[in-house]
Chains A and B, each alone.
Chain A
Amino acid sequence: MSIIGKLFFTFFKIGAFTFGGGYAMIPLIQDEVINNHQWLTLNEFLEVIAIAEMTPGPVAINTATFVGYRTAGVLGSTFATLGVALPSFVIILLIASLFKNLSKSPWTKAVFTGVKPAVIGLITIALWSLGKVTLIDYKTILIFLGALFLLIKAHLHPIAVIILSALCGLLVA
């Protein structure tokens, strides 16, 4: 198989078998990209993760684009990105078309009575674990509280909050 085909199928596999998005994908990507295919060294991979974290958008897309480019140029990045996005796209299309009728049943309603608060619990875990490693001194705690106030009380647009926080970082870091 050509390198482009290998990139597509490897990232298709990564897209099809990682649940929970983002950081849950990193071990699988590491296994495929470093151990199986040796497309990147461990150091290059860590660099990719740093860049993926610092650029906007889904971590999976960032990583696929970067690895694809490093391995086989622009065409490589196109096929790696297509591969990682395709499984979710197809699965969600199937679910969305079935869901129209399903969502009217009382059983679906009952299931979601339980699942909705569970989602709140899951997001709170993300808040907890990210907060633990991010809010490390009084400055970061102040930026956190300021951003929270602007989002909830002042109802500022999230994009404005991101830009303001970057300016804060430039001023105080």
Chain B
Amino acid sequence: MPQKSRLFDLFFTFFKIGAFTFGGGYAMLPLIQREVIETHHWLSSDEFIELIAIAEITPGPVAINTATFVGYRTAGVLGAFMATLGVVLPSFSIILLIALFFPRIASHPVTQRMFYGIRPAVVALIGSAIYKLGKNVLVNGFSYFVALVVFLGQLLMGIPPIPMILFAAAAGVLDHYVNSDHNAINRFLR
């Protein structure tokens, strides 16, 4: 039985994450980074990127995937349940309140003006996630090469994320096979 305080920490942390991320998905990465990696040390930065990859290749919202994974790692099945409940509860209650009392809130001028400011900040949140994760991941020619191929493959040819991740996994295995102590692709790129 995991400690009560740890279950409460999980619930409260993911409640905060659920309550303050707009735009869903990647926009919540910096907040998860700050809370889960820097404040609570529930995951390392490396484990976090692995988790994002797992979230990409499994169905469902990234927020739920992350909450369940971190909760399970930290405090087993009960932890997974508390973290997931925490991340879902803010949206659930806010939407119910809106549906009940303020059906016109989205078109209200004050809301519109606030979102004029929030939208560019969400882009900045995604930018800061790339900066922080990239520092640990983009360390050699091979990693820059894979990131660039995925970016251009989607941008120019519209290749969806799952085939891209499978390609990258194959590239990783190939790189490992070619390179026991010296990296052939790195040499090629240098």
Interface residues, chain A, CB within 8 Å of chain B? 15-23, 25, 47, 50-62, 65-66, 69-70, 74, 77, 81, 84-85, 87-89, 91-93, 95-97, 99, 103, 106-107, 109-128, 130-131, 134-135, 139-141, 143-148, 151-152, 157-159, 161-162, 164-170, 172-173
Contact = CB atoms under 8 A, between A and B. Distances in A.
Contacts of B125: 147, 151, 158, 161-162
Which of A77, A124, A130, A157 has the most CB atoms of chain B within a 10 A radius of its CB? A124
Given A77-B96, A81-B88, 4 more contacts: A22-B62, A112-B50, A114-B146, A158-B31
B88 to A, nearest CB: 6
B24 A141 contact: no
Contacts of A144: 120-121, 123-124, 127
Which of A54, A127, A130, A140 has the most CB atoms of chain B within a 10 A radius of its CB? A54
Contacts of A130: 23, 122-123, 126
Given A95-B58, A151-B128, A121 B147 contact: yes
Contact of B143 (A20, A91, A117): A117
Interface residues of B, number: 106
Nearest to B39: A157
Nearest to B150: A121
Nearest to B154: A125
Contacts of A99: 54
Which of B116, B127, B143 has the most CB atoms of chain A within a 10 A radius of its CB? B116
Contacts of A55: 22, 91, 94-95, 98
Contacts of B165: 115, 118-119, 122
B63 to A, nearest CB: 4
Interface of B: 16, 18-26, 29-31, 34, 46, 49-50, 52-65, 68-69, 72-73, 77, 80, 84, 87-88, 90-92, 94-96, 98-100, 105-107, 110-134, 137-138, 142-151, 154-155, 160-162, 164-165, 167-173, 175-177
Contacts of B50: 103, 112, 115-116
